[in-house]
Amino acid sequence: SDVKPAPTQCVGPDYRSESQKPTAAVSAGVEFDTVTILPQTPQLIALLSIIRNKDTQRGDFIFYSNRIIRLLVEEGLNHLPTIEHTVTTPVGRTYDGLAFQGKICGVSIMRAGEAMEQGLRECCRSVRIGKILIQRDEETSRPKLFYDKLPEDIADRWVLLLDPMLATGGSAIMAVDVLKARGVPEERIFFLNVLASPQGIQNFATKFPKVRLVTAFVDQGLDEKNYIIPGLGDFGDRYYTR
Ligand code: URA
């Protein structure tokens, strides 16, 4: 089938020898250079182990998925443009640094993507946030746009698109189509994602060769209900209910 075995690797800092490092299942690799996978550090693997565990209760699920989301936002922001910027310190010396350049906004794919808004707000003060609601059309069983509310000037912004789960890619692809129809070029869209399937990556990255996708982990595949496997179940249910 489409399910590949999980690669395992020694995890830990380079100064440790292989025998000093534990082994864990790490993200599958991908062949697209538009896809950035977070470094497979002990922290990330341990955080993922908590949120994947079926016995993890809602409070812990929220706390630890928020930590992964924060890592994704920090990484995503590194891909935005900066310009050289020199400042004077209180002791009268200068520091040759950088300044952020360009306006940004977040766009969450409801409902699960809304869980990523807080992590973005923590990193970007007063960031504008739009929303897109896409649901499966009961008649055609294809994704359908039900609602969107986006900043008027979105075409002038860098857009961080938020959805924690990339399964088949249907919703994410429709969301990028909506953004492009509003005048946002692919080069200014960054898709932040916690867990992806290889099929979702393949579909998304092939369709949008200029959109950057930042994910924490590429999993093994999809089951017959299009849940990611091994996955973590229904992200929205675990974050918002129970
Ligand atoms: N959405 C989820 O919440 N979980 C999956 O496994 C796939 C899509």
139-198 confidence digits (pLDDT tens):
887 889 999 999 999 999 999 999 999 999 999 999 999 999 999 999 999 999 999 999
- Could you give the CA distance from residue 223 to residue 168 in angstroms, rounded to a whole number? 11
Q: Indicate if the pLDDT at residue 136 is higher than 90.
A: no
CB atoms within 10 A of CB 56: 18
pTM of this prediction? 0.95
Model pLDDT, residue 140: 82
% of the chain beyond a pLDDT of 70: 99
Distance 112 CA to ligand 1 centre (A): 9
Straight-line distance from the first to the last Cα atom of the chain, in angstroms, rounded to the nearest whole number? 33
172: nearest Cα among 89, 87, 112, 240: 112
Residues flanking ligand 1, CB < 6 Å? 112, 165, 167, 227-228, 231, 234-236
- Could you give the CA distance from residue 11 to residue 44 in angstroms, rounded to a whole number? 10
Strands 212-218 and 189-196: parallel
Over residues 202-213, the mean pLDDT reads 98
* Ligand 1 atom, smallest distance to 228 CA: 6
* Residue-averaged pLDDT of the chain: 96
> For residue range 35-89, what is the model confidence (pLDDT) as tens digits?
999 999 999 999 999 999 999 999 999 999 999 999 999 999 999 999 999 999 9
Q: Which residue's CA is the nearest one to ligand 1's atom 5?
A: 227
Over residues 13-18, the mean pLDDT reads 95
Q: Indicate if the pLDDT at residue 1 is higher than 60.
A: no
Q: Which residue among 136, 165, 173 has the greatest number of ligand 1 atoms within 8 angstroms of its CB, and so is best to mutate?
A: 165
Q: Which residue's CA is the nearest one to ligand 1's atom 3?
A: 234
* Ligand 1 atom, smallest distance to 112 CA: 3
Window from 4-8, 31-35, 102-106, 117-121 with minimum mean pLDDT: 4-8
3-state helix/strand/coil string of the chain = CCCCCCCEEECCCCCCCHHHCCEEECCCCCCCCCEEECCCCHHHHHHHHHHHCCCCCHHHHHHHHHHHHHHHHHHHHCCCCEEEEEEECCCCCEEEEEEECCCEEEEEEECHHHHHHHHHHHHCCCCEEEEEEEEECCCCCCEEEEEEECCCCHHHCEEEEECCEECCCHHHHHHHHHHHHCCCCHHHEEEEEEEECHHHHHHHHHHCCCCEEEEEEECCEECCCCCEECCCCCHHHHHHCC
pLDDT band at 138 (very low <50, low <70, confident <90, very high): confident
Q: Pick 135 or 189 by higher pLDDT.
A: 189
- Could you give the CA distance from residue 210 to residue 151 in angstroms, rounded to a whole number? 22
CB atoms within 10 A of CB 185: 12
Catalytic residues: 136, 140, 234, 237
- Could you give the CA distance from residue 221 to residue 144 in angstroms, rounded to a whole number? 24
Distance 219 CA to ligand 1 centre (A): 12
ipTM: 0.94
Model pLDDT, residue 25: 97
